[in-house]
């Protein structure tokens, strides 16, 4: 009895056959249960426990039947990110957050029954924990992070019992590790990262034993790799990226042997591709994107053979589609999105045949849904969201037939939740 596993990240996946014969799966590839079944016996393969990496859910096909004369080898375990059902947009000057439901078929947005949630001043950046249960919002003007629970049915937000936790000065970005146990906030004026433990039941944040770790000057954004082993911070004041290892038990950040790597001028946003092999940084002042390969063992960033590729004017954010084949960069002044294909071997970015997509006014943020079918662009100047279909073969963006959805005032970031 056996089959194959694809898309697995991390450890913790355990399969069962007929409610027994537990089999721990450590990697993608073929698997076989220890106990043989005779011809005519029934089998039912199920997932006993998921991977500790919560960004993906493993499902089974061809998992039940009757053993014939030949061995069963076609049980398929597929691990993938669940489809997004909700979206949340931060309205910086409006001091609110807009909530939307996502049409499962088209990807179109519809405002929730309660379309906005009032909150503390300058909600600048949002993130959702990988289980889709909690939302965290960084407030640059209040020097704190607010926390909310997500209603699993409606997506409605409810304030946590302790609504806010203090950060450093000017918190500009927040990231949650893929196990859902740790959160990190980049503090632009304190030149450090605040580190927190996440309560598995309530989502509450509590400072780690070592509550902060030093960065470079003016850290603007932070990203955690898909395995939860490494973290990276773009330092806009130093034109470099700080690199850290993450303690698997405590979540503590430790600078790598080579603690920084050079970027372009005024690095703003950093992302790691879904395979965990490449990282990309948008550079505001040099109007380009820096590309790096990631050492699989140490997490060190290594500039690509061609270290930068041109973008538009004032590139802000970058997003990579879940297949790792396409990348999209919002250009705040150019009012467009630069579109790239990604070399599967080297990670190098190449402009698509249609190199840009015309967005709304001052696009500041872009994200791609977990299915890879739709990209969403936050337009700060026109205060709306452009929803675009993604051509599965070419990656080209096309504006949906539905109009952009009105959001709030100066939209800064957008996050999707399952």
Please count the other Cβ atoms lying within 10 Å of the Cβ belonging to residue 162: 12
What secondary structure letter does DSSP report for 373? S
Which positions ≥6 away from 70 have C-beta within 8 Å? Answer: none
Q: How confident is the model at residue 381 (pLDDT cuts 50, 70, 90)?
A: confident
What are the extents of the domains in the chain?
Answer: 2-80, 86-417
* Mean local confidence (pLDDT), 95-122: 90
Of 98-107, 141-150, 319-328, the range with the lowest mean pLDDT is: 98-107
CATH no., domain 86-417: 2.130.10.10
Give Cα separations from 105 to 224, 367, 376, 393, 409 (angstroms): 30, 18, 15, 19, 28
Helix, strand, coil percent values for the chain (each to nearest 5): 0, 60, 40
Q: Which residue has the tokens 């059902």?
A: 85
Residue 234: predicted pLDDT:
98
* Mean local confidence (pLDDT), 10-26: 96
CA distance 205 to 90: 20
Residue 406: predicted pLDDT:
58
CA distance 59 to 373: 20
Helix (H, G, I), strand (E, B) or coil at 346: coil
The torsion angles phi and psi of 403, rounded to 5 degrees, stand at -70, 155
Residue 404: predicted pLDDT:
64
Residue 410, pLDDT above cutoff 60: no
CA distance 83 to 103: 10
Angle 106-147-233 (CA atoms, 0-180°, nearest 5)? 80
CA distance 317 to 314: 10
228-262 confidence digits (pLDDT tens): 999 999 999 999 999 999 999 999 999 999 999 99
CA distance 418 to 416: 7
Residue 408, pLDDT above cutoff 60: no
CA distance 137 to 99: 13
Q: How confident is the model at residue 339 (pLDDT cuts 50, 70, 90)?
A: very high
Residue 140, pLDDT above cutoff 90: yes
Q: Dihedral angle at the C-alpha atoms of 230, 234, 235, 238, nearest 10 degrees?
A: 100
Give Cα separations from 100 to 30, 87, 197, 224 (angstroms): 40, 5, 28, 26
Residue 12: predicted pLDDT:
96
- Whole-model pTM: value is 0.93
156-209 confidence digits (pLDDT tens): 999 999 999 999 999 999 999 999 999 999 999 999 999 999 999 999 999 999
The average confidence (pLDDT) of the chain is 94
CA distance 246 to 372: 28
139: closest CA among 111, 105, 107, 174?
174
107: closest CA among 398, 360, 330, 336?
398
Residue 407: predicted pLDDT:
57
Residue 384: predicted pLDDT:
84
Structure token pair of residue 384: 């709306």
Q: How confident is the model at residue 383 (pLDDT cuts 50, 70, 90)?
A: confident
51-95 confidence digits (pLDDT tens): 999 999 999 999 999 999 889 999 999 999 999 999 998 888 778
Q: Which residue has the tokens 């926390």?
A: 147
CA distance 227 to 259: 20
Q: How confident is the model at residue 401 (pLDDT cuts 50, 70, 90)?
A: low
Q: Which residues pair with 383 in a beta bridge?
A: none
* Mean local confidence (pLDDT), 367-372: 95
Q: Which residue has the tokens 């589609």?
A: 321
Residue 296, pLDDT above cutoff 90: yes
The torsion angles phi and psi of 362, rounded to 5 degrees, stand at 50, 60
Structure token pair of residue 170: 């000017």
Residue 409, pLDDT above cutoff 70: no
369: closest CA among 17, 55, 83?
83
Q: How confident is the model at residue 274 (pLDDT cuts 50, 70, 90)?
A: very high
Q: Which residues pair with 89 in a beta bridge?
A: 98, 414
Q: How confident is the model at residue 49 (pLDDT cuts 50, 70, 90)?
A: very high
Q: Which residues pair with 123 in a beta bridge?
A: 139
* Mean local confidence (pLDDT), 40-61: 96
């Amino acid at each position: 009895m056996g089959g194959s596993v694809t898309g697995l990240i991390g450890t913790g996946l355990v399969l069962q056959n007929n409610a027994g014969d537990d089999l721990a799966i450590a990697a993608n590839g073929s698997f076989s249960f220890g106990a043989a079944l005779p011809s005519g016996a029934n089998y039912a393969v199920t997932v006993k426990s998921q991977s500790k990496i919560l960004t993906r859910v493993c499902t089974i096909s061809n998992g039940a039947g009757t053993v014939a004369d030949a061995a069963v080898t076609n049980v398929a375990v597929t691990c993938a990110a669940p489809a997004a059902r909700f979206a949340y947009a931060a309205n910086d000057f409006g001091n609110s957050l807009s909530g939307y439901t996502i049409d499962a078929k088209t990807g179109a947005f519809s405002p929730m029954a309660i379309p906005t949630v009032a909150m503390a001043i300058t909600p600048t950046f949002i993130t959702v924990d990988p289980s889709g249960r909690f939302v965290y919002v960084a407030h640059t003007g209040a020097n704190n992070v607010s926390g909310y629970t997500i209603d699993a049915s409606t997506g409605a937000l409810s304030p946590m019992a302790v609504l806010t936790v203090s950060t450093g000065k000017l918190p500009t970005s927040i990231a949650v590790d893929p196990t859902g146990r740790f959160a990190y906030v980049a503090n632009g004026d304190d030149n450090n990262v605040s580190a927190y433990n996440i309560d598995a039941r309530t989502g509450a944040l509590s400072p780690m034993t070592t509550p902060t770790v030093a960065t470079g000057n003016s850290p603007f954004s932070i990203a955690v790799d898909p395995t939860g082993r490494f973290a990276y911070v773009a330092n806009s004041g130093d034109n470099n990226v700080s690199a850290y290892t993450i303690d698997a038990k405590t979540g503590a950040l430790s600078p790598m042997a080579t603690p920084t790597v050079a970027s372009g001028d005024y690095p703003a946003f950093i992302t790691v591709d879904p395979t965990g092999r490449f990282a990309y940084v948008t550079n505001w002042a040099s109007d380009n994107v820096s590309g790096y390969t990631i050492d699989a063992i140490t997490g060190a960033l290594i500039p690509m053979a061609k270290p930068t590729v041109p973008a538009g004017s004032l590139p802000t954010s970058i997003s990579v589609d879940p297949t790792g084949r396409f990348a999209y960069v919002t250009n705040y002044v150019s009012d467009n999105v630069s579109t790239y294909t990604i070399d599967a071997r080297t990670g190098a970015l190449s402009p698509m045949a249609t190199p840009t997509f015309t967005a709304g006014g001052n696009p500041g943020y872009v994200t791609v849904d977990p299915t890879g079918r739709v990209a969403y662009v936050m337009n700060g100047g026109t205060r709306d969201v452009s929803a675009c279909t993604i051509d599965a073969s070419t990656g080209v963006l096309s504006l949906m037939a539905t109009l952009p959805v009105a959001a709030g005032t100066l939209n800064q970031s957008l996050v999707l939740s399952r």
